[in-house]
Structure 1
């Protein structure tokens, strides 16, 4: 794909993001619009997009490296943050939000739309395999961290496991992937239905990202934010520099690893922070900052390779 077409597609996506931000600022929609749209995406269009990938493309066993990479990259970033902020002079709720913000990436709602537009169904399959590993961090480790750093000292293991096991996108990954591996063939009616439901996901996901953008920074939170951002992008930057030295950047697998490792913080950081009385504003700022930084890094990767 030519650089002009890539620039056009990235530009369109960015315009949709800032359209969401503008609509929020102009207060055209009710205050709860962001949460409503986010839930609609998470429980309707995103699962459909995930299912569509596995229903229409045969998974190759060599793509398991992407699932492993998705888990390892997010987990390493989480551990680095844990070591650095463990003895930091910060409020417990601020530490908790930093930890869940460093644990995993926003693949489904952010990467899917961009990857689909630039690399098509094959690119979507690769990034979906990366996201499968990432989902264990986002819906598992991050949720446990939110409990640990909340005001409650006792962890409700049953509630944590229930939250993970009943989360629709995660369940969709496991079920669709298993059926794909087993060679199950869905009727064309089901495949067409899933594809139809998934159609709004790209536009809605980009719009919601813009709707959650927040540029208000407090001085007290600025230092923690900067440290967190550095930690967040260290692994991705290292891969960006080293992977092309040893592997061909024409490989979609290599592109998926590089792109996946520089994705922004998952939107669940806000949801978990709100649920466990952590620093919701910092979570929002972290998502905003990582979204902007990721757009820059992602554009460089797509244009260069």
Structure 2
């Protein structure tokens, strides 16, 4: 209960601070930097060495790859059917194809499933969402904005990104059955703890609601795919077809139901892929996801 209170308090605090005259709303960029370069690496180094290797780990890792691949097929199909522009199609592939599995996902998973749930959430986010964002999403953003992807730049972005580096270090430690001294683990855990308030404050500072936009229909398609179709596909594939029933699978399904990723929206917007629609996917997607997440949590408890 404490974690849920923390989520909403800092989310609404961010919304309130947006309207405080003179408050530097752009401070969310600093918060994002702290979360990405300090909190996420700390969480990876704390949790991943403790994960017990098994075939079941492939399920959470596969969530982001399945989601993005499905988005590519789904929105290209709609694009051909309705005659959408490349920029509109690219925008929806990226914003609906990647979930907010860390900024939003970690606090919610920690509140619902505790420490064990976080081990799975890390796998959904690091080798899943982050790697997809750094590779496939960059390729799509470049192609759909009429450019050509630079393979060397993509590799460089991945290689020098701190969370990915620490992810590799943590995986190596897991493979060698190593872990940090207790005091270092405690420090990493404390750094990771501040991620929830910082991440939710950042989200609150960035939420925008553009009621006069002409993109309502496209917003509907994007959120339908991200909040309803994606978790439905993951649920049917993992639970119904493959008959997997565990907390790991529950966390994987819940992470698949998270709202669109803020960083993915920024990436699409930076490439000129319908910036206003990108903002709407975040602005309306995050509040609506709290409702749809309750629905999926209820389904998983049946």
Give the TM-score taking structure 2 as reference length. Answer: 0.87
Q: Secondary structure at the match of 1:186?
A: coil
Whether 2:43 is the aligned partner of 1:53: answer no
Residue 36 of structure 1 aligns with which residue? 30
The change in CA–CA distance for 1:29 and 1:276 in structure 2 (over 3 A counts) is same
Contact 1:75-1:104 within 8 A present in 2 as well: no
In the TM superposition, what is the alpha-carbon distance from 1:87 to its structure 2 partner? Answer: 6.0
The change in CA–CA distance for 1:92 and 1:80 in structure 2 (over 3 A counts) is closer
Determine which of 59, 65, 69 is the counterpart of 2:63: 69
The change in CA–CA distance for 1:176 and 1:68 in structure 2 (over 3 A counts) is same
Determine which of 250, 255, 259 is the counterpart of 1:260: 255
Runs of 4+ in 1 over 4 A off after TM superposition: 238-249
Mapping of residues 102-141 of structure 1, within 5 Å:
102-131=96-125, 132-141=127-136
Whether 2:141 is the aligned partner of 1:150: answer no
Distance of 2:25 and 2:247 partners within structure 1: 40
Contact 2:231-2:253 within 8 A present in 1 as well: yes
Contact 1:103-1:137 within 8 A present in 2 as well: no
Distance of 1:88 and 1:235 partners within structure 2: 21
Comparing 137-146 and 172-181, the one that deviates more:
172-181
Distance of 2:76 and 2:247 partners within structure 1: 32
Contact 1:46-1:109 within 8 A present in 2 as well: no
Whether 2:171 is the aligned partner of 1:177: answer yes
Give the TM-score taking structure 1 as reference length. Answer: 0.86
Residue 280 of structure 1 aligns with which residue? 275
In the TM superposition, what is the alpha-carbon distance from 1:248 to its structure 2 partner? Answer: 7.3
Cα distance per residue 1:16-38 (max 9 Å; x no partner): 21221111122453142122211
Cα distance per residue 1:99-154 (max 9 Å; x no partner): 21122211111111111122111010012222222322222211111111224x33
Distance of 2:152 and 2:59 partners within structure 1: 31
Contact 2:6-2:197 within 8 A present in 1 as well: no
Contact 2:59-2:249 within 8 A present in 1 as well: no
Q: Secondary structure at the match of 1:83?
A: helix
Whether 2:74 is the aligned partner of 1:80: answer yes
Contact 1:150-1:276 within 8 A present in 2 as well: yes
Contact 1:265-1:287 within 8 A present in 2 as well: yes
Q: How many residues align?
A: 296
The change in CA–CA distance for 1:168 and 1:86 in structure 2 (over 3 A counts) is farther
Mapping of residues 190-205 of structure 1, within 5 Å:
190-205=184-199
Distance of 2:71 and 2:90 partners within structure 1: 14
Contact 1:273-1:283 within 8 A present in 2 as well: yes
Contact 2:6-2:196 within 8 A present in 1 as well: no
Structure 1 runs not aligned, ≥5 long: none
Residue 291 of structure 1 aligns with which residue? 286
Contact 1:104-1:135 within 8 A present in 2 as well: no
In the TM superposition, what is the alpha-carbon distance from 1:39 to its structure 2 partner? Answer: 1.9
Whether 2:97 is the aligned partner of 1:93: answer no
Distance of 1:165 and 1:86 partners within structure 2: 36
Q: Secondary structure at the match of 1:109?
A: coil
Mapping of residues 156-235 of structure 1, within 5 Å:
156-232=150-226, 233-235=228-230
Kindly report the root-mean-square deviation, in angstroms, between the aligned alpha carbons of the 2 structures. 2.5
